[in-house]
Chains A and B, each alone.
Chain A
């Protein structure tokens, strides 16, 4: 994994020193809020409903045990003993005091972390497949590319005042787990004639005007990657609408001008930029790639795993849902659910963070990943160690066997924390999770995603069942979309019709699920497959026509 060099460490230390002085000047009255706000946002500090919120970047979702322990310490010392993992692989602390934030940033710097560019109209934290370097279906590890992009985009002088924020995601596998088609730029690693290259997708995004990204180049070689991405960002930087923030994202630029025109402008710009790259990016990429070289996998018997799997039904159930196929024989990818039934999606206490750090150190090559689905991953574990890992997870309330099931819900913080929210998300997620707890194994794979406002941090457009919380005449109201898909077959959900009040939304979701169970061809047909076969009608009818029938039962 990548460690800061002297330059990185000095840069972050200097930024922290500057921010400490800026906070002092704000408190002493020498900076107005108007002057201070852009400075605090550049350092990831928001002011939310009840408190400040510090958003810390976890580049491409990768952490080591030391970093995870430090996050636990920060949560305990300066917050309320927990952190919230987000859909962009960041962690948010919900209760810091302004005066403490410089100390928190210094504590982060001790473990090569920071909060730079986690806000503002800049290139944000570059995200990646959370199974990077471990997945059986991977062409190449996406993290070296993500790290190269992180170094290139951090404090890039041309890209500090973009028309709006800019989000990049990288996937190294044809099975997209990084939602690359819903990012400003999505990068998919591809292989052509034995050579590795990059398929570049531009103009995707969710929010008020959701758009699926379009392929702008099928194959960009390694030498051309950085100048090509720079060309895309710089073309948008000039063309992007600064007059209307609802039209400023690249998805609108691509939509308004057409992908063909954007492609030709990018190619023109690329020809100019390419000549300015001296090859240092290639050398750097090679160094970074070396830092991500895979661990040495050992040949180990999976005997203990098989024994536990046969004899312990709780372990069997957890293994069936929470493990994914690893590239090395005898190994597995273990997913730790942060979706205990009835709890807040994505939250982990300091004790839980420490337990996960200990497990990573003891059993997992010292690596942890944060997924955009708000769970934690131990990417490299020997199958024979899984029974021991499972028993530790149980002790810490981390053994929920629900990855990919109905209670593995993405939910943004919503109006419980966020100043932009128009309704709450978390209690809806908690109630659905409690309701479906005993039914979810029967239901099978189901992605429910909840956002508390149109900005769609909860990816509701991409949920098999998407829920969007709005404020309708001073009352919380929840719209439902069906048929969204966050994989390589990206699809935006369609709205079912009028929304439901806070006390009616969970029963409405229940009706959808009962309808699915009633109408599916067999237990192998998932919710999304049944929806694709049946269309909207039976679900719409369950939501709107059969309310009274169900109520009467």
Chain B
């Protein structure tokens, strides 16, 4: 094995609403990062991304984002993903104001 694989989630923007979504284990999409499927193996993560790319009628621009395994499910590592999972810092809008 070469290097340690950083766990991932599949994330994208919803086609109709434009907001941030994450892929669940049952192929559905959730707006709550904590409910996303935690992908701990590289090959499987790539496969899950392919599955997401096969759903262009629901999502735009799916990609794999680094996460850590937390008490309440996956949590963001990079600040960009932290903002995506919460919303902007200047107004109480977006996910922090309630999942829509």
Residues of B within 8 Å of A476, CB to CB, are 79
B83/A416 in contact, CB under 8 A: yes
Q: Is B16's CB under 8 angstroms from A426's CB?
A: no
A474: chain B residues at CB < 8 Å are: 77-79
A33 touching B87, Cβ below 8 Å: no
A98 touches B90 (CB 8 A): no
The answer on a CB contact under 8 Å between B15 and A27 is yes
Complex CA distance for A48 and B83, rounded to whole angstroms: 12
Question: Chain A residues near B73 (CB, 8 Å)?
Answer: none
How far is it, in angstroms, between the C-alpha of A426 and the C-alpha of B89 when the chains are bound? 8
Q: Judging by beta carbons under 8 Å apart, are B60 and A47 in contact?
A: yes
Q: Are B89 and A427 in contact (CB under 8 A)?
A: yes
Q: Which residues of A contact B19 (CB under 8 A)?
A: 50-51
Q: For A33, list chain B residues within 8 Å (CB).
A: 15, 56, 60-61
The B-contacting residues of A in range 30-56, CB under 8 angstroms, are 32-33, 47-52
Q: Which of A26, A49, A471 contacts B84 (CB 8 A)?
A: A49
Residues of B within 8 A of A48 (CB): 18
Q: How many interface residues does chain A have, given as a range?
A: 20 to 34
The interface residues of chain A lying within 8 Å CB-to-CB of B94 are 50-51
| A97 interfacial contact with B, CB 8 Å | yes
- Complex Cα distance A423/B67, Å? 19
A48 to B87 alpha-carbon distance, docked (Å): 12
Q: Confirm or deny: B71 has a beta carbon within 8 angstroms of a beta carbon on chain A.
A: no
Q: Is A29 interfacial (CB-CB < 8 Å)?
A: yes
Supposing A33-B61, A474-B78 touch, asked if A47 and B90 sit within 8 A by C-beta, the answer is no
Contact flags A81-108 to B (C-beta < 8 A → 1, else 0): 0000000000000011111000000000
**Complex-state Cα separation, A474 to B68, whole angstroms:** 14
Q: Is residue A19 within 8 Å, beta carbon to beta carbon, of the partner chain? A: no
Closest Cβ–Cβ distance, residue B56 to chain A (whole Å) = 6
Q: How far is the CA of A474 from the CA of B66 in the complex (A)?
A: 11
Report A-chain residues with C-beta under 8 Å of the C-beta of B93: 50, 80, 95
Q: Which residues of A contact B95 (CB under 8 A)?
A: 50
Closest to B87 in A: A50
The CA of A430 and the CA of B60, in the complex, are separated in Å by 32
Q: A52–B18 Cα gap in the complex (Å)? A: 5
Chain A, residue nearest B97 (CB): A80
Which of A18-32 touch B at CB < 8 Å? 26-27, 29, 32
CA distance A475 to B82 in the complex (A): 12
Please provide the chain B residues from 52 to 68 with a CB less than 8 Å away from any CB of chain A in the complex: 56-57, 60-61
Give residues of chain A (415-473) contacting chain B, Cβ–Cβ below 8 Å.
415-417, 424, 426-427, 430, 471
Interface residues of B in 19-67 (CB under 8 A from A): 19-20, 56-57, 60-61
B residues in contact with A415, CB < 8 Å: 79-80, 83
Cβ–Cβ < 8 Å partners of B88 in chain A: 50, 416-417, 426
A171 contacts chain B at the CB level, 8 A cutoff: no
B16 partner, pick from A27, A49, A344, A427, beta carbons under 8 A? A27
Q: A33-B56, A95-B93, A475-B79 are in contact. Are A51 and B16 (CB under 8 A)?
A: no
Closest chain A residue to B84, Cβ basis? A49
Contact assessment for A424 and B89 in the assembled complex, using a CB-CB cutoff below 8 Å: yes
Interface size on B, residues (CB 8 A): 25
Q: Which residues of B contact A97 (CB under 8 A)?
A: 16-18
| Chain A proximity mask over B2-17: 1 for CB below 8 Å, otherwise 0 | 0000000000010111
CA gap between A378 and B91 in the complex, in Å: 28
For the complex, what is the distance from the CA of A80 to the CA of B79, rounded to whole Å? Answer: 24
Complexed CA–CA distance, A166 and B13 (Å) = 29
Give the residues in chain A near B87, CB-CB below 8 Å: 50
CB distance from B88 to the nearest CB of A (A): 4
Contact A416 B56 (CB under 8 A): no
Complex contact A98–B89 (CB within 8 A): no
Contact B16 A50 (CB under 8 A): no
CB distance from A390 to the nearest CB of B (A): 27
Shortest CB-to-CB span from A501 to chain B, Å, is 11
Docked Cα-Cα span, A230 to B94, in Å, equals 44
Q: Find chain B residues with CB under 8 A from A475 CB.
A: 79
Q: Quick check: A430 and B90 within 8 Å, CB to CB? A: yes
CB distance from B25 to the nearest CB of A (A): 24
B79 to A99, Cβ gap below 8 A?
Answer: no
Contact present for A416 and B79 (CB under 8 Å): no
Asked if B18 and A51 make an inter-chain contact with CB atoms under 8 angstroms apart, the answer reads yes
| Contact with B90, one of A32, A95, A427 (Cβ below 8 angstroms) | A427
Supposing A80-B93, A415-B80 touch, asked if A98 and B18 sit within 8 A by C-beta, the answer is yes
| Complex: A475 Cα to B77 Cα, angstroms | 10
- Which chain A residues border B90 with CB–CB below 8 Å? 344, 416, 426-427, 430
14 A-B pairs besides A50-B94, A474-B78 with CB distance below 8 A are A33-B61, A48-B18, A49-B84, A50-B20, A50-B87, A51-B17, A98-B16, A415-B83, A416-B83, A416-B89, A416-B90, A427-B89, A475-B79, A476-B79
Can you list 29 A-B pairs with a CB-CB distance of less than 8 A? A26-B15, A27-B15, A27-B16, A27-B57, A32-B56, A47-B61, A50-B87, A50-B88, A50-B95, A51-B19, A80-B93, A95-B93, A96-B18, A99-B16, A415-B79, A415-B83, A416-B83, A416-B88, A416-B89, A416-B90, A417-B88, A424-B83, A426-B89, A427-B89, A427-B90, A430-B90, A474-B77, A474-B78, A474-B79
What residues of chain B have their CB less than 8 Å away from a CB belonging to chain A? Answer: 13, 15-20, 56-57, 60-61, 77-80, 83-84, 87-91, 93-95
Using a CB–CB cutoff of 8 Å, the interface residues on chain A facing chain B are: 26-27, 29, 32-33, 47-52, 80, 95-99, 344, 415-417, 424, 426-427, 430, 471, 474-476
The 7 A-B pairs with the shortest beta carbon distances in the complex, nearest first, are A416-B88, A52-B18, A51-B18, A29-B57, A50-B94, A426-B90, A344-B90
